[in-house]
Chains A and B, each alone.
Chain A
Amino acid sequence: MKGGSKSKVPVSIWCGHQLLEVLQCISSSWTGPDLSVLAVRCYPTLPPRYLQVPGHFWGMALALTLRSNRSQTCSIPLTINTKSITPEKQRGKYAALSIAAMVIVVGLPLWWKTTETYRASLPYSQISELDTLQLQLTMEVDVIFTKGTLTAEQQNKVPMSQTQENYYKMNDKTGLRYRYEMKYRTATVMEDSALRMESVQEADVSLSQLNESPSGSLVIYVIPETSGLLPDGINVYMGIYRTAILRTSLHKEAKMEELLSVIGPKILRIIQTVTFTNNDIKASMSDRVPTGKFTKESLADSMRAFKSSYEITFSLLNPDPKSHDLHWDIEEAVDKYIQPFLDKLSGVANFSVDSQILYYAILGVTPRYDKTISSYTLSAESLPHVINPVEARLGSNAASSNPVLNFLLYVPDYPHCPLYIKDQNGATVQSNAFHSPRWGGIMVYNVNEKYLDNNRFPVQVNIDTVRVMEVFLAQLRLLLGVQLAYVPDDFLMESPANQGLTDWELDRFLWLRTLENIATATTTLTSLAQLLDEIGNIVIYDKIASQVYNAVISVQAAIAELEAGNLGFAFQSSKEAILASEKAFFDPSLLHLLYFPDDQKFAIYIPLFLPMSVPILLSLLKIAKEFRERRNMAKKKD
């Protein structure tokens, strides 16, 4: 025992020293980046440069573990054939085993736990269900036969209701079923008297008071051919509420079924014109169903991607303040003409309106003088180059990232007055304005005042805001996609005037936006799920998971509400869906796109685990070998 311990000391010292040197070598050869990658994997928010120093600490900790282990293995050769050493050998064995057990029981789970990325569970199955979308749009249509359209015999046979269904297949995964629930009835006395009014506008107002129609529905009054309510050549009148008046001739002797088959297509035509056609739907769902790579309706182009908020900026450009002293009462104009429109859309989006006056801001194109009309002109080809130089000066609200719609009123400088815009055919444009999809509109405003007294510059100019707002409101409607792209010849659409927006236009907007939101939200969700599935290193926090759950629930709610025919609720749900899905997709925490190639992983783990695992494995092997030998010995003895 004594001899053993005497000889053991120098060995263990030698062993320790050499080990230390080796370990110092290892730890100093440990370069920062390798370890830092591991550490980044453990602590994604820690900047890598902080991790270079603890590398040595790791080395030291490792040295301690190894020392206790290695000194045991070193002392083994010196203690052969001495029975008294056996307990010590036994102890070494236990030590090796317990270290191995520690590594397996504590070390491995700890390593696994600290390097794994947190991934909250997501409703993958529900999202994959959303990949195939079969929507049903239900719409209630009241068809009311007024006095003089039906005979008494026919009136008795008017069916209560009828449903008509159309199916529109967009692609393999997306289909739409339109379901029109037609309710037929004859007009009441009040309605008949309303329709006998002087003008169709008055009739429209009083009819709307009689019939409270919910959002997303339509009321169609059928009036006889002989009625003088509508002007000649007009068969359909669309009021500013949800009322349409259809003038048609019906056979007195025909059966009810025949009548309905005659009137059916006409009603369908009204519905499709004032709500949506397949093309409108295709355009609004283009996010989901690509409409051929490069062909898309110009309507879709003019619409901004759905955002809950818009910024509207009215700018007055005065390039020549020395000659013109411009005044515009923009506050009153916006209050009077733009705000009612925005109020109607307030449920759809938030708008913030601001205005500015820019001095010495010039267009990028020099106008040409046209002798025939003795004025300056801007050709249609030069218009695209007008916007960019001005835009640099516009500025924008730096605090928000909502889309901006710019409306510029340009008062040409004195030498270039008057200035007219020419269309492709060379004729001057009535409105003297143009617009650019997703950007805004520009109107050129020529100062009317005669310069009688040339010495008295600058000339005071009060801008006629009505004329300006007539153009800007029309442009705003176009840019938001409210304006009807196509009106058949025999339709008369009542202008919403100062309201800016009729009820049925709002409905149409809601229909299309609901579909667009559903389409966008489902694609966002599926692509998010796909991305998270593909890239395994992205951390998914609970907050994102809850957003995704919200979005999925809202999409499902929106689809259910559409089926039930509640347009308002459907829109609200679809809005929630798209907001939640966008929030989840664009969450800043989703950026841990840490990409670890395999060679880098080995580079990290080998210096860390190899020195530790080799002695452990060797001693385990040795123990196993001894155990087997002893068992063999025991067998032989038997």
Chain B
Amino acid sequence: MASFVGVQFTFCFRIIVILFFLHFYRTSLSAHEIETQASHFFRSGHTNNWAVLVCTSRFWFNYRHVANTLSVYRSVKRLGIPDSHIVLMLADDMACNHRNPKPATVFSHKNMELNVYGDDVEVDYRGYEVTVENFLRVLTGRLPASTPRSKRLLSDDRSNILIYMTGHGGNGFLKFQDSEEITNVELADAFEQMWQKRRYNELLFIIDTCQGASMYERFYSPNIMALASSQVGEDSLSHQPDLAIGVHLMDRYTFYLLEFLEDIHPASQSNMNDLFKVCPKSQCVSTPGHRTDLFQRNPNSVLITDFFGSVRKVEITMSTMKLNPNNTERTEIDVNEEMVTTLQHYVDQLPVAEIIHQKPKQKDWHPPDGFILGLWTLIILIFFQTYGIKHLKHVF
């Protein structure tokens, strides 16, 4: 009886061992599978990079917003995004502002250490062109047909887009130009339209403004990662006051963001988790926030250079076509002699004579506007109030 129990025990044990091994084998296999899938999955699927950098505020005391944007512009350009893939919107021209003690410069560091304006800035939208409408048009691609290529965001379904915005904001909006604002709902709708039309592969949204986190709350389109300089209810603060220029040169969040980006080079392996740690509350005073729930990759597998740089995918050309140089199948196109001999005239670029001698333009008549009508109504009203209809004959 005892031996029987023993036999049974060993038998059971064997089965358990076999099962265990089987199980181990299966798990190891599936782990391997997962790993290959993962490596496939984590590979960023983009072929090109775009950047939309927006400064939304005017006036000299907002110098820092222009400097913020230009510094990010410098960084992405250094990391390899060409000017043709950057849409830079600056609401004011600080470099040419007459209050600027050093014309044609915009400094981002105290004591005029770092000039971010440089000599090769390509500003695509400048001054009053920076409006909510234009910004949304750039994002959604609904631009008039006459818009030049440099002012367009010609991204496709393989593009990673960096959108950086700075300016004065509040809970749920960002002010443009002191006259209008973009709300977080409008922004989220614009991103959704971009996604619907496959205008991006992945999108990184960074905003440096007061209550910045409110701007990304309403996003609902996939593949968007968002960062903000401050939480709802917090102000984002400035940094680097400069006595000579007389204003603050940068905002805190962007300042530390750039400090972080300085260490990035096109081949570096830093990931988004490092970016989230930029500017802790001790430095920023505000609390930077981020949102990753819409993003499908794990942030620690997303390289900074996936958005801030432009590392192209390159394949080596292996096959060539064989061409026959002696094959003259194609008939020669007759060159029309008359076409060539017609004289070409250059048109005057600036018709000075016409401009000098032109007559002043006649003003078009247009109906009196509301103010005039209102004024006359008021006058007539007071007139009748004072004299009444009875005394009209005495007056006239």
Contacts and interface: CB of A to CB of B under 8 A. Distances in A.
B232 to A, nearest CB: 16
Nearest to A341: B321
Contacts of B319: 431, 474, 483
A49 B150 CA distance: 30
A60 to B, nearest CB: 5
Contact of B311 (A56, A384, A433, A470): A384
B44 A294 contact: yes
A441 B140 CA distance: 29
A430 B318 CA distance: 7
Interface in A494-525: 495-498, 500, 523-524
Interface string A585-609: 1111011010101000000000000
A129 B95 CA distance: 56
Given A380-B316, A588-B143, A388 B82 contact: yes
B313 A474 contact: no
A210 B263 CA distance: 69
A249 to B, nearest CB: 32
Nearest to B83: A392
A61 B377 contact: yes
B84 A401 contact: no
Contacts of B154: 401, 403
Given A301-B158, A305-B157, A591-B136, A387 B312 contact: yes
A436 B312 contact: yes
Interface stretch (B12-20, B67-75, B274-282, B323-331): B323-331
Interface in B76-103: 80-84
Nearest to B45: A294
A586 B147 CA distance: 13
Contact of B142 (A20, A397, A421, A588): A588
B323 A466 contact: yes
B369 A385 contact: no
Given A53-B371, A54-B374, A56-B371, A336 B314 contact: no
A398 interface: yes
Interface residues of B, number: 75
B207 interface: no
Interface in B154-173: 154, 156-158
Contacts of A434: 314-317
A48 B196 contact: no
A595 B157 contact: no
A437 interface: yes
Contact of B183 (A61, A528, A595): A595
Given A401-B154, A438-B48, A16 B84 contact: no
The winner among B42, B144, B297, B318 for most chain A CB atoms within 10 A is B318
A497 B327 contact: yes
Contact of A337 (B157, B323, B377): B323
The winner among B41, B48, B320 for most chain A CB atoms within 10 A is B320
Interface in B370-386: 370-371, 373-374, 377-378, 381, 385
B341 interface: no
Contacts of B193: 531
Contact of A477 (B40, B82, B321, B369): B321
Contact of A531 (B137, B196, B324, B333): B196
Contacts of A466: 323, 325
A437 B315 contact: yes
A429 B156 contact: no
A588 B327 contact: no
Contacts of A304: 156
B352 to A, nearest CB: 26
Interface in A361-411: 380, 383-388, 391-392, 396-401, 403
Given A56-B371, A591-B142, A498 B323 contact: yes
B258 interface: no
B254 interface: no
Interface in B269-299: 296-297
A593 B80 contact: no
A230 to B, nearest CB: 19
Q: Which 4 A-B pairs have the closest CB atoms?
A: A54-B370, A57-B374, A527-B196, A57-B370
Given A527-B197, A591-B133, 5 more contacts: A293-B41, A294-B297, A295-B41, A434-B316, A587-B142
12 contacts: A57-B370, A59-B374, A296-B45, A384-B314, A385-B311, A397-B149, A429-B316, A430-B318, A474-B319, A498-B323, A524-B197, A590-B142
